[in-house]
């Protein structure tokens, strides 16, 4: 990928720039908890974005997306927002840096990536993080890593219409080879956990159903949670996020909020606890408990939070039938993939069964990605 980028960069701009990369992410457990101030447990993966970039001394940006064979130019004013959705991520990152007082100039860039789009592995965070990290470095801005992640998140909010939490951008900036990161999204405290489940493999099965994260469904989930938290806050002013409440406090407002908001909040409160349970289990090397919690999450995401779909429920059922230790829909949902914790000895049988059964029912095989936990945003030498 790097050599293809380099070749194109030379053809377009006549010389060489500097290389930066960032990663997509998985999340072992803790879904839709980030914007509720709860815990998440992601890690960066070995699939990401690589960009070659060079300041060009002008006030214009010229970015070429190699995979799409598309070039976009824009200036830094709000009204210069590009049409192409991929370019909005780059534009948004520039705007968010400028809003924070960062002084950047124009630049040329060529980028390419291998994070499957729409699989729920956050290709958009990889793109944002690559550019945020690179611009910080190239223009000596001295932005701290949390702020780099927030720049990506604000890009989603303000230029892409998704009111996402901080998990994806955090994972893609802070990712570390061989480690998952437990993040408390309220305090932003985090801890690296070595992740090397001996005797098990972590594998993603991509339903190839396109998730519509940007679609209002994701934002509506968030609004439900905020309404529930606001209702609880009337009785318990210390509740800033749903994460601060327990089931009992939610039950106090059961008749005040809608039945739907109640279910959404119930899922979130349970999910926050599951992350802590999984971290404890991991420290004991108790993968059976990790797996059980993953199945519980799937059930909650499917029945209470309603972000699963027929294809993902089916993949989850097959995992159960094959004796897979843990399986659940990963990421925002509405399509994308399941993440599966499977014993070495069961791996081959599970994959071939899942492929065949899924194809039989939906007409195509799911894609299979073995998870390799890798580094996040970085400069490449």
Q: Which residues bind ligand GLA (CB under 6 A)?
A: 31-32, 34-35, 122, 164-165, 167-168, 331-332
Q: How far is the CB of 154 from ligand GLA (least distance, A)?
A: 12
Q: How far is the CB of 299 from ligand GLA (least distance, A)?
A: 16
| Tokens (6 digits) for 2 | 């790097």
| Tokens (6 digits) for 374 | 């890798």
Determine the Cα–Cα distance for residues 46 and 25; give it in Å rounded to an integer: 9
Q: How far is the CB of 287 from ligand GLA (least distance, A)?
A: 22
Catalytic residue, chosen from 34, 136, 168, 313, is 168
Decide whether 52 or 313 has the Cβ nearer to ligand GLA.
313
Q: How far is the CB of 162 from ligand GLA (least distance, A)?
A: 7
Decide whether 299 or 355 has the Cβ nearer to ligand GLA.
299
- Asked whether the beta carbons of 284 and 278 are under 8 A apart, the reply is no
Q: How far is the CB of 10 from ligand GLA (least distance, A)?
A: 35
Active site residue 168: yes
For 135, the 3-state DSSP assignment is helix
Bridge partners (DSSP) of residue 367 are: 206
- CA neighbor of 368 nearest in space, from 205, 224, 179: 205
Report the C-alpha dihedral over residues 155, 160, 163, 167, rounded to 10 degrees: -60
Q: What strands lie across the sheet with 378-380, from one edge to the other?
A: 70-74, 61-65, 107-113, 42-55, 18-27, 378-380
Determine the Cα–Cα distance for residues 179 and 156; give it in Å rounded to an integer: 26
Which residue's structure tokens are 């599966």?
340
Decide whether 32 or 179 has the Cβ nearer to ligand GLA.
32
Which residue's structure tokens are 């994701």?
218
- Asked whether the beta carbons of 325 and 278 are under 8 A apart, the reply is no
Axis crossing angle, helix 145-159 with helix 167-174, rounded to the nearest 10: 140
Residues annotated as catalytic are 168
């Amino acid at each position: 990928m790097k050599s293809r980028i380099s070749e194109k960069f030379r053809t377009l701009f006549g010389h060489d720039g500097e290389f930066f990369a960032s990663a997509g992410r998985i999340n072992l457990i803790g879904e839709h908890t980030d914007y509720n101030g709860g815990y998440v447990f992601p890690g960066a993966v070995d699939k990401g974005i690589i960009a070659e970039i060079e300041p060009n001394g002008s006030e214009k940006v010229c970015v070429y997306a190699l995979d799409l064979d598309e070039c976009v130019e824009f200036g830094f004013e709000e009204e210069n927002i590009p049409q192409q959705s991929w370019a909005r991520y780059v534009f948004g990152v520039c705007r968010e840096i400028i809003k924070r007082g960062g002084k950047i100039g124009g630049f040329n860039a060529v980028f390419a990536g291998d994070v499957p789009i729409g699989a729920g592995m956050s290709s958009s965070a990889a793109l944002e993080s690559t550019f945020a990290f690179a611009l910080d470095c190239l223009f000596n801005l001295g932005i701290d890593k949390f702020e780099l992640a927030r720049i990506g998140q604000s890009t989603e909010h303000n230029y892409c219409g998704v009111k996402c939490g901080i998990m994806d951008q955090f994972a893609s900036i802070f990712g570390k080879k061989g480690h998952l990161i437990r993040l408390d999204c309220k305090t932003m405290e985090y801890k690296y956990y070595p992740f090397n489940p001996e005797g098990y493999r972590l594998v993603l099965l991509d339903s190839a159903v396109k998730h519509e994260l940007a679609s209002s469904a994701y934002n509506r989930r968030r609004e439900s949670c905020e309404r529930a938290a606001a209702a609880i806050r009337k009785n318990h002013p210390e509740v800033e996020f749903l994460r601060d409440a327990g089931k009992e406090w939610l039950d106090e407002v059961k008749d005040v909020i809608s039945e739907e908001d109640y279910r959404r909040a119930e899922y979130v409160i349970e999910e926050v606890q599951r992350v802590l349970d999984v971290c404890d289990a991991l420290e004991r090397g108790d993968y059976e408990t990790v797996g059980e919690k993953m199945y519980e999450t799937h059930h909650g995401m499917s029945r209470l939070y309603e972000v699963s779909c027929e294809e993902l429920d089916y993949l989850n059922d097959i995992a159960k039938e094959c004796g897979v230790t843990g399986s659940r829909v990963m990421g925002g949902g509405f399509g994308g993939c399941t993440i599966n914790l499977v014993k070495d000895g069961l791996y081959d049988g599970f994959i071939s069964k899942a492929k065949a059964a899924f194809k039989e029912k939906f007409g195509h095989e799911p894609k299979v990605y073995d998870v390799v936990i890798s580094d996040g945003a970085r400069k490449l030498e």
